[in-house]
Amino acid sequence: MDDAFFFGYGSLVNRHTHDYPDALPVTIRGWRREWRMARSLGRTFLSVVPDAGAQIDGLVARVPGNDWAALDLRETGYQRHALGAGAFARGPIRPAMIYAIAAQDADKASHTAPIKLSYLDVVVEGFDREFGAEGVARFFDTTRGWGPVLDDRAAPLYPRARPVAAHLQRLVDDRLHNLGVLRLGR
């Protein structure tokens, strides 16, 4: 069976959070990234929604042996959707799958389900490594649905949290401030 590929646009951009092989930076069109609270899980995640005028950066990586079980488990709360070769605006063209929270299960980030700062830090670290400062700026500029952010850096709640460089933490803090995002203490 041929290997399949997925497109990661959030924490999967950070290679420290997974060991999927052959990960390559790409840009896709036709999707917009946004923060969505999955009602079924009561947590806020990055997700995507179709948007013909949008394009976003991310990584495309191989799922060895077409074995989706581990990735599906990691992406609990999401549904897989096919990306055709025409979705790729830049980078290697590979039919791939993209994960999105189902619209019928989605709400906006809120005080009861804020965005975890430890999660955002990991995402930004990945974008910095793969796309540089310009890629981090594009991440913030192309992401919608910013809601309250829970400052959990001292005691991370995000399961794949990792130490992130101080300059990246400052960058995240500055971007959130400029966006006017409410920051909640624990």
Edge to edge, the sheet with strand 115-116 lists 115-116, 149-150, 183-184
Query: Are 184 and 73 a contacting pair, CB within 8 Å?
Result: no
Q: For the chain, give every domain's residue range.
A: 4-184
Structurally, at CATH architecture level, domain 4-184 sits in Roll (3.10)
Reading the chain (186 residues) residue by residue, the pLDDT tens digits are 467 899 999 999 999 999 888 899 999 999 999 999 998 889 999 999 999 999 999 999 999 888 899 889 888 888 999 998 889 999 888 889 999 988 888 888 888 999 999 999 999 999 999 999 999 999 999 999 999 999 999 999 999 999 999 999 999 999 999 999 999 998
Beta bridge pairs of residue 5 = 62
Residues in CB range of 137: below 8 A, 6 or more apart: none
Predicted TM-score of the model (pTM) = 0.94
pLDDT at 1: 42
Positive or negative CA dihedral for 118, 119, 124, 127? positive
Going by C-alpha positions, the residue among 117, 124, 111 that lies closest to residue 33 is: 124
